[in-house]
Structure 1
Amino acid sequence: MSTEDTPPAAGGENSSDDTPETTARRRRSPLIAASVAAAVLLAGGGAAYWASSASGGGESGAGARPEGGPPPLALDGHAQETGSHNGIAPGEPDPRGAGYRAAAKLPEGPASAPVHQPRGEVSQEAVARLAKALDLPGKVRSDGDSWKVGGLTRDARSPVLEVAKGGSGAWTYSQYGTPGGTGCAETAPKGGGSGSQASGPGCPGGDTSAQNDSSTKDAVSPEKAKQAAQPVLEALGQNNAELDASGLSGAVRTVSANPVIGGLPTYGWQSDIRIGSDGQVVGGSGQLARPVKGDTYPVQSAEKTLERLNAAHRGANSGIGGCATAEPQKKQGTDATSVEPCAGNAAARKPVDVTGAVFGLSAQYVDGRQALVPSWLYKVQRTGGGTVTHPAVDPKYVKNGDGGAPSGPAQPPSSGKPSEPSGKAGAMGLESYEVSADGKSLKLHFWGGVCSTYSATAEQTGKSVKAEVIGKDKKPNQICVKMAKQFTQTVPLEKPLAGRDVIDASTGKEVPAAK
């Protein structure tokens, strides 16, 4: 990636918008420092996301609308950024801890660029087109905040497509149905977080890789995988997206598609389509809504934005210190991640070199709603490579959003960790049970992640057995690529079950007997 190039116009298939202005930027003098309270590092798709939040509020300073300019951008978690370097030269290492250092000249970029955001609800017709591309029969039906196709069998193991009606239109498809039963909904929750997690207990977040653990030698070629994914990409309006088919999990090859919108590359808005060894689509996830061009905002250079990113990082050193605490997704093309865990104190860590930057759009939250915001996409030099993004909108035009979304960018739906019920932390939703042949123990079946260990307990009365399975990370605070699989835990019975109900203690619901 050249450090001087701006991204080529690629005829945004999701928008007919013009490309941003590319006139030369006038150098801006540094703004007065405003305090940055915290930074959050989220990992996803082989990259690190940085986001900052500021103390205070109001419309003075950052977020105050300059006369004649666009309305303040309610960018959640980025209020009152100023880019103050506090006496540290832009791009140079911070003596207070690791940060990012420009190892090459960074581009100026355009003077302004528009925000893109989905509007309205995803139509039933759009869902039907996607279902047809997936070769999924059945009518589109409404299910609360989602559209659904398929998944009507009693055991919920038939192919199912689910699409959120609002927001980005987050969609998930599994050829193997919904692991965990019909109570496992896989739509992306408001606020994003670390991927598309299910809202029901015991859901593995749509990862179908656990269904096929055969050798990678059985996987189709990248070219065939891309060809198999084309009908789905066309239904999504992303047939001209940048494709990467290097991801492998057993014999399942993942085609990752990053759409080009308004002539700019995107980050965090990708679709992942998983192709089985027979060349058929076995799973997928992404965004069905098509972002629409909104207000245009002045943007800052790659150097100035990097300065603000480091300011956010300095504010974090009193807390998490830039360590990767969120569960990262797999880096495309490998079974590892590009984010390294932190070791030692902040002063002992070396800054990460930034070797290039491209101007584009990154997925963020604007007043609680997902949007694509003008950003710099930095190429960083570390093990496995990677990309770091930060919004480029001039802080004078940014105010703190109150939409309730977390500080940080929106995450694309992808393989995530199994969700937990709303009760006790770490409790896993129970899918079914069976009694041992001698009648002295109860086998509890559930879906969980390979990065955790599990223990089971049971409270036994004359009318019921209340069972619970608790999961704990094997290695807390360390990177682990989670993959869902079915587990079984056994608890002893004080006396034969003899018709007593088995209750999931974490949800209070009855657990069905295994068939």
Structure 2
Amino acid sequence: MSSERPEHDTARPRRRRSPAAVTSVAAAVLLAGGGGAYWAATAAGHDNGGAETSGAPGGTTDPPPLALDQSARSGGAPGIAPGEPDPRGPVYRADGTFPDPPKSAPVYRADGTVSAADVTRLAHALGVPGTPRLVGTDWKVGAAKDGTGPLLQVARQAPGTWTFTRFGSGGSDNCPQGKGCSSGGSASAGGGKAVSERAAKAAAAPLLKALGESDAKVDAGRVMGSVRVVNADPKIGGLPTYGWTTGLQIGADGRLTGGSGPLKAPVKGAGYPLIGAADALKRLNAPTAGATGSGGCATMEPLTERSASGAGTDAERTATTGTAGAPPSPSCAPSSKAPGSRAVTVSHAELGLAMRLAGGRQVLVPSWLFETRPAGTAGPGTVTAPAVPDRYLATPEPPADGNRPGGSDQTPTAYRAEGRTLTLRIMGQVCGRYGIRTTENRNTVRVALSAPARKPGKVCPDIIASVTQKVALEQPLGNRQVVNASTGDPVPRM
């Protein structure tokens, strides 16, 4: 994973955008301590002053513009002068000096497909017996007919998201025609006390080495009952990554009980000139739009999920999540007034690659990774901002049919099924509840998302985060495939 791939720019040539069209930049915020990625989007409308000049070193040909998906809207909040920080958001203050950036750095894109040989090597490292078999768009290895035993599933399309469970849930995959099979999550590895961080890292090391991630930044501070979670962020092209994480679960017996992550190394793309950390920090302090939002919150990973009550009996219906009448979680309950600006100290900065979405696909973008220490938090956090100049950031073009619900910043990234309950992990807005529309047939369950409704007067930051919501199906999922209705792509299992 850490080896640099041959240069291969997969971006198609695009019409060069005028400076007026380049209006949005985005920043990502990770709150440490939860083990889940947590993005806060900001926007700034920057005018490049008319004529464009080459940003590539030595005046070489410009790289293609990056059209990054984002939920932020250009322009500042009402009543805020240009260049002034939004009083409803944090103000980032540098503590010390930042390093100078290199002249340029490339993007890396998820591209290509995963081969059976790739899956075989991973299965061997995990100790999963069997031969890879292609089921729909996923490779599968292991698990007996009754669903017991270890199971490895790998998406064939890059980045080859893989999921592994040591203990199968049981339940046959030999379903009567037209009827669903029972489908559950992985069985527990048993009780007991979670192993130490040191022991968990040692248990994870052989697999990380097999994945080519021996140089990854490893964190093992999160515990879920008797299971300790190890998160590894590898280096790619010599740069640290953010959002390209391998997550492993170590049981009380010191064995790997589950895990997930990307298998296929991203492909090196075009190189881009870079801005300094100080300029990137100014982006974080630029006026933001979308500080008002709806009350109530979808569950943010890794908080406890809320149960859902699926309404209706039609094969195609809209369902939302959340227990009726339940108050919002205290962590994201809307405030009755704007919180006002607060200073957040930035103690360290380094250049890295942050995972973003472009056209719903994963791309690693050269970014500044800022270490922060927000007041009232247990540990440091990470704030990221693109290190690519504004003139190379383009507004994404809408789909030709205009029918993609909610836009590409609302993406189901994984699922799990328990009986008739389908739990979706969504990369989208954290405040408000998504509308989830499911269309079921014998072979597939198509999932379409609609954005949370916004209610004037409710204060909630415009967040892009990993959230989970549940929806009730007409029949247990069984061996049917879950498909993203907006792209036609299969959704991988958690």
Q: Same fold (TM over 0.5)?
A: yes
CA contact (8 A) 1:287 1:412 kept: no
**1:49 aligned to 2:24?**
no
Aligned twin of 1:73: 66
Q: What is the DSSP-based 3-state SS (H/G/I as helix, E as strand, rest coil) of the residue aligned with 2:152?
A: strand
Aligned twin of 1:349: 340
Shift in Å, 1:48: 3.0
CA contact (8 A) 1:101 1:353 kept: yes
Which of 230, 246, 253 is the aligned partner of 1:271?
246
Which of 265, 281, 300 is the aligned partner of 1:327?
300
CA contact (8 A) 1:363 1:411 kept: no
CA contact (8 A) 1:49 1:390 kept: no
Whole-angstrom distance in 2 between the partners of 1:314 and 1:144: 42
Aligned twin of 1:14: 3
Aligned twin of 2:394: 399
Against the structure 1 CA distance between its residues 295 and 40, is the aligned structure 2 distance closer, same or farther, given a 3 Å change threshold?
closer
Whole-angstrom distance in 2 between the partners of 1:129 and 1:353: 45
Aligned twin of 2:270: 295
Against the structure 1 CA distance between its residues 62 and 401, is the aligned structure 2 distance closer, same or farther, given a 3 Å change threshold?
farther
Against the structure 1 CA distance between its residues 228 and 211, is the aligned structure 2 distance closer, same or farther, given a 3 Å change threshold?
same
**1:314 aligned to 2:288?**
yes
Aligned twin of 1:462: none
CA contact (8 A) 1:354 1:381 kept: yes
Shift in Å, 1:228: 2.1
Whole-angstrom distance in 1 between the partners of 2:95 and 2:21: 26
Alignment of 1:71-470 (within 5 A): 71-77=64-70, 86-88=81-83, 93-95=85-87, 97-105=88-96, 107=98, 108-154=100-146, 156-177=147-168, 211-212=188-189, 214-216=191-193, 219-311=194-286, 314-319=288-293, 327-329=300-302, 340-341=331-332, 344-345=335-336, 347-355=338-346, 356-382=348-374, 383-384=377-378, 385-402=380-397, 429-430=419-420
Whole-angstrom distance in 1 between the partners of 2:183 and 2:342: 38
Larger Rg, first or second structure (1 or 2)? 1
**1:506 aligned to 2:483?**
no
Question: What letter matches 1:506 in structure 2?
Answer: L
Shift in Å, 1:202: 9.1
Shift in Å, 1:32: 8.5
CA contact (8 A) 2:233 2:246 kept: yes
Identity %: 37
Question: What letter matches 2:203 in structure 1?
Answer: A
Shift in Å, 1:429: 4.0
Shift in Å, 1:162: 0.4
Q: TM-score, normalised by structure 1?
A: 0.60
Question: What letter matches 1:294 in structure 2?
Answer: G
Segments of 5+ residues of structure 1 without an aligned counterpart are 1-11, 19-30, 185-199, 332-338, 420-427, 432-445, 450-476, 485-503
Whole-angstrom distance in 1 between the partners of 2:383 and 2:411: 14
Whole-angstrom distance in 1 between the partners of 2:76 and 2:230: 37
What is the total number of aligned residue pairs between the two structures? 382
Shift in Å, 1:121: 0.3
Against the structure 1 CA distance between its residues 121 and 482, is the aligned structure 2 distance closer, same or farther, given a 3 Å change threshold?
closer
Alignment of 1:480-495 (within 5 A): none
Q: What is the DSSP-based 3-state SS (H/G/I as helix, E as strand, rest coil) of the residue aligned with 1:129?
A: helix
Q: How large is the RMSD of aligned CA atoms in angstroms?
A: 5.0
CA contact (8 A) 1:63 1:73 kept: no
Question: What letter matches 2:248 in structure 1?
Answer: I
CA contact (8 A) 2:93 2:345 kept: yes
CA contact (8 A) 1:77 1:400 kept: no
Shift in Å, 1:400: 2.8
Moved more, 347-356 or 120-129: 347-356
Question: What letter matches 2:2 in structure 1?
Answer: E
Shift in Å, 1:145: 1.0
Shift in Å, 1:169: 0.8
Question: What letter matches 2:393 in structure 1?
Answer: V
Whole-angstrom distance in 1 between the partners of 2:394 and 2:49: 9
Question: What letter matches 1:315 in structure 2?
Answer: A
Shift in Å, 1:379: 2.0
Shift in Å, 1:236: 1.5
Segments of 5+ residues of structure 2 without an aligned counterpart are 8-18, 305-329, 426-459, 479-494
Whole-angstrom distance in 1 between the partners of 2:25 and 2:235: 33
Whole-angstrom distance in 1 between the partners of 2:412 and 2:97: 26
CA contact (8 A) 1:51 1:409 kept: no
Whole-angstrom distance in 2 between the partners of 1:381 and 1:242: 19
CA contact (8 A) 2:30 2:381 kept: no
Question: What letter matches 2:357 in structure 1?
Answer: Y
Q: What is the DSSP-based 3-state SS (H/G/I as helix, E as strand, rest coil) of the residue aligned with 1:166?
A: coil
Whole-angstrom distance in 2 between the partners of 1:116 and 1:362: 10
Q: What is the DSSP-based 3-state SS (H/G/I as helix, E as strand, rest coil) of the residue aligned with 2:63?
A: coil
Against the structure 1 CA distance between its residues 53 and 401, is the aligned structure 2 distance closer, same or farther, given a 3 Å change threshold?
farther
Q: TM-score, normalised by structure 2?
A: 0.63
Whole-angstrom distance in 2 between the partners of 1:411 and 1:303: 34
CA contact (8 A) 2:148 2:167 kept: yes
| Deviation per residue, 1:475-511 (Å, 9 max, x gap) | xx999x9999xxxxxxxxxxxxxxxxxxx98324699
Whole-angstrom distance in 1 between the partners of 2:201 and 2:394: 41
